[in-house]
Structure 1
Amino acid sequence: MSAQTLPRTRPASPATRWSRRAAGALAFAALIELAARTGLADREVLPPATEIVARAAALLFDPAFGAHALTSLLAWTIGLCLATALAVPLGLLLGSVPVIDAATRSVVEFLRPIPSVALIPLVALVIGTGLQHRITLVVYASLWPILYNTMYGLRGVDPLAKESLRAYGFGPLSVLLRVSLPSSAPFIATGVRLAAGVALILTVSTEIVAGRGEGIGVFIFFAGIAVPARMTDILAGVFWVGLFGVVVNALLVAAERRAFRWHHAQLGGRA
């Protein structure tokens, strides 16, 4: 008796995925609201979700908070762009030249596990606590996901395609630009998307530790050291950081799907 073929599950539509995510977010907000309203949680520590959202909406019209948000956005953007500009060529070099990869592997493996947050005091002593401080740490933290995804993508390039181009007289650089780079581009894009989240974490963390200047992290820091602590302001700031991360990730995923439809088709349409 022949085995039955199981029907292939179709991937959920974008509308279905977003509705599920929205339902999960609403359920989480309702849980916070219930805990605060019923006394399961101290309202001074965990205000109701409606108060947090109301305060977050009010911050949209606060010029001071707008200045904080723009400063954080600037540090995040510059840091992520610099990390991409450095990591992609470096990843292509290490992934294409085994001798250089072998010579630098010990240094890379030594630097990669160092927590970026642990470098905040050192970088502050060396270059100060201004915008350059945040950008430096964002670049360092964001470099690794892009670098390793670039190298991983190069390992998956079809060797037959490269040999075919070499057979027609193309040199190593032409093979890299015509075959290796386009084939590894989806992996590079995934690395940039992962690095975007890391860059956001480092931007806000550095601002909180520095506790001076402008930035959403500075806003959260001063709300936390107030007496009593302004928990609604803290969580409203966290709300905007989280929402920004969700929006950026969604935009990057949409850009990946649009630019690399062939890649997602090979993966079966998974996100």
Structure 2
Amino acid sequence: MIILVLELVTRLEILPSRYLPPPSVVIGRLFELLTEPVAWQAIGMTLLAWFLGLLIAAVVAVPLGLLLGTSELAYRATRPIVEFLRPVPSVALIPVVFLIFKPGSLEGTVFLAAFAATWPLLVQVIYGVRAINPVQMATARSFQIGGAQTFLRVVLPGATPYLSTGLRISSSVALILVVTGQIIMGAPGIGMEINRAREGADVPLMYAYVIIAGVLGLLLNSVFAAIERRALHWHASQRVSVR
């Protein structure tokens, strides 16, 4: 319905088609674009930067979150630092990225994605560990279960739902920062192609790449949601959603 309304108002020039082409024109350009290698190269570069950024965020945030969640002293000592760095917009670091990395480099976008994706995942893991029922920990101690087994049987299963949610959130954040970094810094990928289309006044092409970015985000979120449902089929939240 929304697409039909947009088609009508742009065809009638109620909204200027120069800046907002009819959806039929954009969709047609999109299908043409998907037959061109340049589009798939841009998608591949964006996915590569997204994957590397999310991987770095997970390698940093998961062990650190488990440590801070299990140690009250470490949690209290580092909480001011986390709360100071977490709200910092990653886009504000772009001047720093220009100083450290080469303009248009893959490393710069990966750094932005990793920085932005680390904080949601870190906070989720910390909260997941701290939300574990103390009775479960006391039961493990009463049965004289060792530290490693307690971690595997109590801490990790208790934090996994929070971890999976954090990964899903961080995945979206990483993709947003990758595309943003590519637009601003000129790194290869969907963002750079959006900027090229804008500079060339090819508005339908620009919107076609925007749609590709949106569909990519939707697909990645769906993949993480499906993995979460499969991995956490034993969890109460998934049983409720299935019913």
Q: Normalising by structure 1, what TM-score?
A: 0.85
Report the secondary structure of 1:269's partner residue. Answer: helix
CA distance in 1, matches of 2:9, 2:159: 47
2:221: which partner in 1? 249
For the 8 Å contact 1:208–1:221, the answer to whether it is kept is yes
Report the secondary structure of 1:268's partner residue. Answer: helix
Report the secondary structure of 2:10's partner residue. Answer: helix
1:206: which partner in 2? 181
In the alignment, structure 1 residue 193 sits paired with structure 2 residue 168: yes
1:63: which partner in 2? 37
In the alignment, structure 1 residue 114 sits paired with structure 2 residue 88: yes
Cα displacement (A) at 1:172: 3.4
Cα gap change, 1:270/1:87 in structure 2, threshold over 3 Å: closer, same or farther?
Answer: farther
Using the TM superposition, name which of 86-95 and 255-264 deviates more.
255-264
Aligned ranges 1:3-18 → 2 under 5 Å: none
For the 8 Å contact 1:92–1:154, the answer to whether it is kept is yes
Q: Which amino acid aligns with 1:268?
A: V
Query: Where has structure 1 moved over 4 Å in runs of 4 or more?
Result: 264-267
Cα displacement (A) at 1:270: 7.6
2:207: which partner in 1? 235
CA distance in 1, matches of 2:242, 2:169: 17
Cα gap change, 1:100/1:238 in structure 2, threshold over 3 Å: closer, same or farther?
Answer: same
Highest RCO, 1 vs 2 (Cα 8 Å, sep ≥ 6):
2
Cα gap change, 1:128/1:93 in structure 2, threshold over 3 Å: closer, same or farther?
Answer: same
CA distance in 2, matches of 1:63, 1:52: 18
2:26: which partner in 1? 52
For the 8 Å contact 2:197–2:205, the answer to whether it is kept is yes
For structure 2, the residue ranges without an aligned partner over 5 or more in a row are: none
Cα displacement (A) at 1:265: 4.4
Aligned partner (choices 120, 136, 156) of residue 161 of structure 1: 136
1:183: which partner in 2? 158
Aligned ranges 1:121-136 → 2 under 5 Å: 121-129=95-103, 130-136=105-111
Cα displacement (A) at 1:264: 4.3
The count of aligned residue pairs is 242
Q: Which amino acid aligns with 2:108?
A: H
Once the two structures are superposed, residues 190-224 of structure 1 have per-residue CA deviations (whole angstroms, 9 ceiling, x without a partner) of 1100111101100000000012x421100011111
For the 8 Å contact 1:257–1:264, the answer to whether it is kept is no
Once the two structures are superposed, residues 17-41 of structure 1 have per-residue CA deviations (whole angstroms, 9 ceiling, x without a partner) of xxxxxxxxxx332232122112111
Aligned ranges 1:212-223 → 2 under 5 Å: 213-223=187-197
CA distance in 1, matches of 2:122, 2:35: 39
Cα displacement (A) at 1:67: 1.5
Aligned partner (choices 63, 73, 78) of residue 99 of structure 1: 73
1:73: which partner in 2? 47
Cα gap change, 1:102/1:168 in structure 2, threshold over 3 Å: closer, same or farther?
Answer: same
- Percent identity over the alignment? 38
Using the TM superposition, name which of 230-239 and 123-132 deviates more.
123-132
Using the TM superposition, name which of 241-250 and 258-267 deviates more.
258-267
CA distance in 1, matches of 2:32, 2:111: 32
Q: Which amino acid aligns with 2:118?
A: L
CA distance in 1, matches of 2:127, 2:92: 27
For the 8 Å contact 2:106–2:188, the answer to whether it is kept is no
For the 8 Å contact 1:153–1:187, the answer to whether it is kept is yes
Using the TM superposition, name which of 229-238 and 168-177 deviates more.
168-177
For the 8 Å contact 1:264–1:270, the answer to whether it is kept is no
CA distance in 2, matches of 1:270, 1:230: 45
